[in-house]
Amino acid sequence: MSDRYKYTDKDGYYFVTASVVDWVDVFTRDIYRDILLNSFRFCQQHQGLMIYAWVLMPNHFHMICSFRDRNA
């Protein structure tokens, strides 16, 4: 994996956007939306992700986030 999309500044706040290839509306289906939201929850509980705001669109999402333990 490249360093291009890694968040290395533990003190930073990030605006993250991710989209689906070819802008396919996958998040309109419960199963795919639940996979993404469960991944968010896992990262919050086990990886120190702090989510301040997020929006889920049919084919992409936006999030404002940071690290919980900035000294780790």
Predicted TM-score (pTM) of the model is 0.81
Model pLDDT for residues 30-63, shown as the tens digit of each residue? 999 999 999 999 999 999 999 999 999 999 999 9
Residues with Cβ < 8 Å from 47, sequence gap 6 or more? none
| Residue 8, both tokens | 């290395």
Cβ pair 66, 13 in contact under 8 A: yes
Selected residue with higher pLDDT from 26 and 7: 26
Amino acid symbol at 65:
C
Sheet containing strand 49-56, edge to edge, reads: 14-19, 60-67, 49-56
